[in-house]
Each structure stands twice: as structure tokens, then as C-alpha cells.
Amino acid sequence: MDKLVIKGGKPLSGTIEISGAKNSVLALMMTSILTDEDLTLHNVPYLSDVLTLAELLENFGITIKVKNNGQPEDLYTTKENNLSLTLNGSTINNLNAPYSIAKKMRASFWSLGPMLAKFGKATVSLPGGCSIGTRQIDLHLDTLKAMGAEISISNGYANAKVNGRLKATNFTFNKVSVGATINAIMSAVLAEGVSTFLNCAQEPEIQDMCHLLVKMGADIKNIGTSKLIITGQDKLQGATHTTMSDRIETGTYIAAIGLTGGSITLNNVDFESIKNLIDTFKKTGIQIEKTGDRTMQISSDKQIKAMDIQTMPYPGFPTDMQAQFTALMCLAPGTSCITENLFENRFMHIPELQRMGADITINNRTATVVGVPQFNGAKVMATDLRASVCLVLAALSTPEETIIDRIYHIDRGYCRIEHKLAKCGVDIKRVK
Ligand code: EPU
């Protein structure tokens, strides 16, 4: 298993290209199930989650051609960061998502809706538990049942079928769920009639998927709001789409500059999706200046101000930035309270931050952080994607050596992080 060895303590300086968004590209790739025509996606980040989803789609029979700068590439061995994929779903011949793949990635369950909508049946492995919480699937199943699907659960699989086409529905989510909203949208675009969904998740990645579906011929009204009205079509066509930039990767590098000081340029930034995050970071004292349509200069003198945050569905503070923000607050003089409202077990990074000298107390869903002058180096262990990257951030701030184990979690969602940081002057290496 790979480890990252980091000796930080130096201000960052240089330029980082923000990659395509993980949580967007997974949804975009999944829409290839819905059409028999070519779907071409640009700005696809090289991430292990992308490889896992490619494996799942290929297991269904979907063909995937990969290019880098117009030249054919091999998805599984490429050294490039930014790929173009052309997926074709006309060859789907297997409607079964096996446990061996689904266990690696919860988003595999997003295949249930589009499979049912296109083929009238599907068997998809339940995603199982997860280190950040129980992560139910009741809402995914309830929407599909409301659309006429019969679903039984046996031997760890959801077996779903529908008599004819899925039927439109009026459905109110009793909780905001990104994945259940994605499954519902991908089902309704091919269902019979007009569906109305209330209390939908509004995350920018969902909006990105809706914009692609509209290019494919879907009729989706009120994109970007909590009330979606979708008129089902008989079929969808192919399309070409550029994956939006990753707002969480952007936020992660902003938190990094707060911890290290220095000044860096971020390119390929999607400003619209991170407006609120930028406002929050500015309040901590990090300077953020828009220097072009998709470029920002971020700098800090390491004088970070403590502040309280609580995670909420978009446009609130993202749960996927909670761990990174917690690391930042560890070096802010004073006390800050971090409340995690979305997942019941998303403080796994805290014992590891404590090993690095952080002063944090957890009480139910709130972590109270008392700022310390600096982190110390330590051997620590990554437990999930965002928990892992917050350890990288802590390590960047201290000249002592930090060794982070189990970094396969980071590779799920951060495209070649060690290369990007090394280009900004960080002493970082990946070792076996
Ligand atoms: N929930 C239910 N029932 C359901 C579905 C969800 O009760 O049927 C609950 C969950 O248990 C959780 C809350 O609703 O408490 C929110 O879960 P949601 O369904 O929104 O999360 P998700 O779709 O499983 C996506 C992202 C996560 C991100 C969350 C919240 C992807 C691939 N995953 O997960 O991303 O944290 O939305 O924004 O898009 C990450 O990137 O590190 C990551 C974990």
C-alpha cells in the first residue's frame, strides 16, 4: 500500500490546475446508460473512482474510448491527468452490478435508476456501509417504487423490475440526498409523463449532470433549484460535455495556503460553484482574488482567524470540506466549533489530527477546536477521502516529517496530488 511522506513548513508558491469534479464526472459517465449514441466527456480527471466506474460500465457492456489531447490512451495505465472519454451504451448486454465492483464505490448504486428506465430491469449490489456513516438507500428505492418499480432485496442485491416503462411521479424527498436526486433524475428523463420532485439536492454536480441530460434531449425544468419538473422522453441522444471543475479540490488548496502561507495561482476554477466557500475562507483571513474568468490568486500570511461552521446541503458549507476546514482551524488562535450535520461518523480524521498535536474535543456532532501554534509530524493513517487529505494539509504546515498510510483513499478523489503540490515547492513523495 502506498504512503505519502511529507516534510512541510514552507510557504507554497506556484500554479495548480484544478481538475474535473469527481462527483460530477461519476454522474456524467452514468448517463451513458441512457442512450445508444456516443457520449463524449472532456476534462475527465484521472482518479481511481473514475476507473472503478469505468469497470462497472464496461461490465454492463458499455464501450469506452479514451483520448488525451486527441491521441488514444489506455484508461488503466495512462499517466495523464485530463482525459476525454467516449462512452457508448448501445452494446449493454448485462444488467447486473456485482458486489465486487459496487463495494468499492457507493456511486455504483446510481446505476439502478437509469438501468430500470432504459431496460425495465436491473440487479444492483447494495453499496453497504461506509466509514463516514450508515448511508441509507431508502430514498433511492422509494422514488423508483413511486415510479412503478417492484424492488426486492435479497442476498445483498436490489432486484428491480417494471412492467413497461417507469411512470412519472410527484415525489417529495423527506431528506436532501445527492445520490437519490441523481437516481430520480436519471429515471424520470425516460419515464412516461411529467414528474415533479420536491426537496431535491441542488449541488453544482447535479446541475452539471442535468445540463448534459438536456443536451441529450431531456426536458428538465428549474435546474439548480429544489423543485425539478421532468418530462420523460422516449429516448435520448448522444452529446458532448465538459466536466465542471472540482469545487472541493479548489477549496482544499485554499485551505492549504491558509496553513502554509505563501501565494499560489489556481487555474480552471469554477467560481459560480464556490462563491459561498470563498466568502467563508475570506473570513478566516485567506486572501482570494479573482484574476481571470477561471483563475484565482490565493495567499495567506498564516494569521488564521477562528470561526464556527456547520455542514449543510448546497449552498451551505459542504460536508466534503469539513475535514480540511477542521485542519485549518487547528492553527487558528481561539476556539472554533465544527458541526457535521450530514453524516454521523465524519470525524475519523480527528484522532489522527490529535496525533499531530491538535487540541480537539468531540461532543456528538460538534468538534470544538482550540488553536495550537503548530502541528507536529507523526505517522498517521488515512480513513476516507476527505479525512486523508486533511492529514496532507496538516503535514504541509510542519517542517517535521509526516507519513500518511493508506493513501489509496486520496487517489479516489484527488488527481495526482503529490505532483500538484511538488510543483508548488512541497517536499512530498509517494513510497510503497
Ligand atoms: N440518506 C438517507 N437515505 C438515502 C440516501 C441518503 O437517509 O436514501 C442520507 C445519508 O445517510 C446521509 C445524507 O442523506 O446522511 C446525505 O447523503 P447523500 O445521499 O446526499 O450522499 P451521497 O449521494 O451518498 C454524495 C457524495 C459525497 C458527499 C454527499 C453529500 C458522490 C459520489 N458522493 O454522497 O461525497 O459527501 O453526497 O454532499 O457524489 C466525497 O466526495 O468525499 C463524498 C463522500
44, burial (CB in 10 Å: exposed 0-12, middle 13-18, buried 19+): buried
Read off the C-alpha cell for 424.
508548488
> Measured in angstroms, how far is the CA atom of residue 401 from the centroid of ligand 1?
34
CA 351 to chain centre: 23
Domain range annotation of the chain: 3-16+245-431, 26-242
Residue 134 pLDDT > 80:
no
Does the beta carbon of 136 lie inside 6 Å of ligand 1? yes
pLDDT value, residue 284: 98
- Above 90 in pLDDT, residue 344? no
* Whether the predicted pLDDT of 269 surpasses 90: yes
Q: Is 146 left (phi over 0), alpha (psi -120 to 50) or beta?
A: alpha
Residue 129 has pLDDT above 80, yes or no: no
> Residue 108 C-alpha to ligand 1 middle, in angstroms?
13
Determine which residue's CA is closest to atom 19 belonging to ligand 1: 177
- According to DSSP, the residues that pair with 309 across neighbouring strands are 338
What's the gap in Å between 358 CA and the centre of ligand 1? 28
Task: Give the residue, 79 or 166, on which the prediction is more confident.
Answer: 166
Q: Which cell numbers in the block locate residue 202?
A: 441542488
Q: What is the pLDDT of residues 393-406, one digit of tens each?
A: 999 999 999 999 99
Q: Is 385 in the pocket of ligand 1 (CB under 6 A)?
A: yes
What pLDDT sits at residue 130? 62
Q: Please give the span between the terminal C-alpha atoms of the chain, in angstroms, as a whole number.
A: 6
pTM of the predicted model, to two decimals? 0.97
Taking a C-beta distance cutoff of 8 angstroms, is the pair 242, 57 a contact? Answer: no
pLDDT band at 128 (very low <50, low <70, confident <90, very high): low
Q: State mean pLDDT over 348-372.
A: 97
Fold of 26-242: UDP-n-acetylglucosamine1-carboxyvinyl-transferase; Chain (3.65.10)
**C-beta 179 within 6 A of ligand 1:** yes
130 is catalytic: yes
Other Cβ atoms less than 10 A from the Cβ of 159: the count is: 15
pLDDT in tens, 10-37: 999 999 999 999 999 999 999 999 999 9
**Same CATH fold, 26-242 and 3-16+245-431?**
yes
- For residue 218, the model assigns a pLDDT of 98
Distance CA 343, CA 195 (A): 29
Ligand 1 pocket, 398 CB below 6 A?
no
pLDDT at 186 over 80: yes
pLDDT for 234 beyond 90:
yes
Strand order across the 309-310 sheet: 309-310, 335-339, 366-370, 359-363
247 lines ligand 1 (CB under 6 A): no
pLDDT of 396 reads 98
Under 8 Å CB-to-CB from 279, ≥6 apart: which residues? none
Q: pLDDT at position 227, please?
A: 98
**Which of 23, 28, 173, 246 is the best mutation target for the ligand 1 pocket, counting ligand atoms within 8 Å of the beta carbon and taking the most?**
23
Kindly report the backbone phi and psi dihedral angles of residue 309, in degrees, each rounded to the nearest multiple of 5, phi listed first: -140, 155
C-alpha grid cell for residue 16? 495548480
Confirm if 216 and 31 have CB atoms less than 8 A apart: yes
Taking alpha carbons only, the member of 425, 427, 6, 11 closest to residue 259 is 11
Give the domain 3-16+245-431 fold.
Answer: UDP-n-acetylglucosamine1-carboxyvinyl-transferase; Chain (3.65.10)
Confidence of residue 136 (pLDDT cuts 50, 70, 90): confident
Average pLDDT, integer, range 192-210: 98
Q: How confident is the model at residue 382 (pLDDT cuts 50, 70, 90)?
A: confident
Give the residue from 355, 354, 366, 406 showing the smallest Cα distance to 383: 406
Q: How far is the CA of 343 from the centre of ligand 1 (A)?
A: 8
Q: What is the average pLDDT value for the chain, to the nearest integer? A: 96
Average pLDDT over residues 188-214: 98
C-alpha cell at 314: 448546497
pLDDT tops 80 at residue 260: yes
Residue 1: pLDDT over 90: no
Cell triple for 36: 445508444
